[in-house]
């Protein structure tokens, strides 16, 4: 199975090289697309250098308004338009998502359409995270499961996931509205009806670089989840 890891980056200069190296080490059928929003710290230029060294590394430089959501969407669009990609792995560029889980994700995709790397099933978890961040994340997961009516999925806000390309091609990526990290739950909400499986992952809090997630962004995300669900029910 040919897999493409889509990694949105903004100021990940400290992380990008080891991350790409570790993704490529997962096997010859694994490629990586870095979607950079003109990072002032030079992440985009580093990505270009890595792409010059390996034909399994690709870079998409975005112009215009930046955001984790729009960058992720453009990465997915790039993947579905490219010939020969069977599945897309979505992951962060800060090494919080360990590339060593990729083979397990691809195995799990044999009898699923989407595989979620889950912190909230047995053997999953978070390390080096401050207790209040873990608590907020757990509460946000319960909220999202409840509002979306996807109670079976324990970690709906995990940004470490793998999709069969057909799924991404079918969910009308162009019409996604999220600019920021709410893209994760917006995409999931559109995947109702597909075979979704979770595998345990241990999330490691970022060591290098700085978080771009603010409390306000989190609140906006929770409000958006409610809005999408409301619209979905209204249309029925
Ligand atoms: N292209 C692009 N990527 C972004 C943008 N904002 C964040 N990212 C990337 O999205 C991923 C997740 O962002 P983080 O800042 O780590 O947010 P988080 O993982 O939710 O929060 P932390 O736990 O604090 O790290 C990282 O790879 C970021 O570099 C953006 O505006 N544009
Ligand atoms: Mg992070």
Indicate the domain borders of the chain.
3-235
Handedness of CA 219, 223, 228, 233 (dihedral sign): positive
Q: Is 93 close to ligand 1, i.e. is its CB under 6 Å away? A: yes
Give per-residue pLDDT as tens, 91-106: 999 999 999 999 999 9
| Ligand 2 centroid distance, CA of 16 (Å) | 13
pLDDT at 214: 86
Which residues in the chain show pLDDT less than 50? none
Report which ligand 1 atom has the smallest distance to the Cα of 72: 1
Pick the CATH number of 3-235 from 3.90.550.10, 3.40.50.2000, 3.40.50.300, 3.30.479.30: 3.90.550.10
What was the pLDDT predicted at 101? Answer: 98
CB 10 near ligand 1, within 6 Å: yes
pLDDT of residue 105: 98
Taking the centre of ligand 1 as the mean of its atom positions, its distance from the CA of residue 50, in whole angstroms, is 20
Closest by CA position to 178, among listed 145, 219, 225: 225
Whether residue 97 has its Cβ less than 6 Å from ligand 1: no
Report the 10 Å Cβ neighbour count for 231. Answer: 10
Q: How far is the CA of 97 from the centre of ligand 2 (A)?
A: 8
- Which candidate, 160, 141, 154, places its Cα nearest to that of 201? 160
Report how far apart the first and last C-alpha atoms of the chain are (Å, whole number): 36
Q: Is 37 in the pocket of ligand 1 (CB under 6 A)?
A: yes
What percent of the chain has a predicted confidence (pLDDT) above 70? Answer: 100
| Protein residue whose Cα sits closest to atom 29 of ligand 1 | 9
Strand spans (E) along the chain:
3-9, 30-36, 57-61, 87-90, 114-118, 125-127, 161-164, 196-200, 202-204
Ligand approaching nearest to the C-alpha of 10: 1
Could you give the CA distance from residue 75 to residue 82 in angstroms, rounded to a whole number?
A: 11
Ligand nearest to the CA of 128: 1
Is the distance from the beta carbon of residue 8 to the nearest atom of ligand 1 less than 6 Å? Answer: yes
């Amino acid at each position: 199975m040919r897999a493409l890891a889509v990694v949105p980056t903004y100021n990940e200069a400290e992380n990008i090289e080891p991350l790409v190296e570790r993704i490529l080490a997962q096997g010859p059928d694994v490629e990586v697309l870095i979607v950079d929003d003109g990072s002032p710290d030079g992440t985009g230029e580093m990505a270009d250098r890595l792409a010059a060294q390996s034909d399994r590394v690709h870079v998409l430089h975005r112009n215009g308004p930046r955001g984790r959501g729009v960058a992720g969407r453009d990465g997915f669009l790039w993947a579905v338009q490219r010939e020969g990609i069977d599945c897309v792995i979505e992951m962060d560029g800060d090494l919080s998502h360990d590339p060593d889980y990729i083979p397990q994700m691809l195995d799990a995709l044999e009898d699923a359409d989407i595989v979620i790397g889950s912190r909230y099933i047995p053997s999953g978890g978070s390390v080096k995270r401050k207790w209040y961040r873990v608590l907020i994340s757990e509460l946000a997961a319960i909220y999202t499961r409840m509002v979306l009516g996807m109670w079976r999925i324990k970690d709906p806000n995990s940004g470490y996931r793998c999709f069969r390309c057909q799924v991404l091609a079918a969910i009308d990526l162009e019409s996604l509205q999220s600019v920021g990290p709410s893209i994760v739950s917006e995409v999931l909400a559109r995947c109702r009806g597909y075979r979704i499986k979770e595998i345990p992952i241990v999330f490691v809090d970022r060591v290098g670089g700085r978080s771009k997630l603010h409390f306000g962004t989190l609140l906006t995300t929770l409000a958006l989840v409610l809005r999408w669900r409301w619209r979905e029910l209204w249309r029925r």
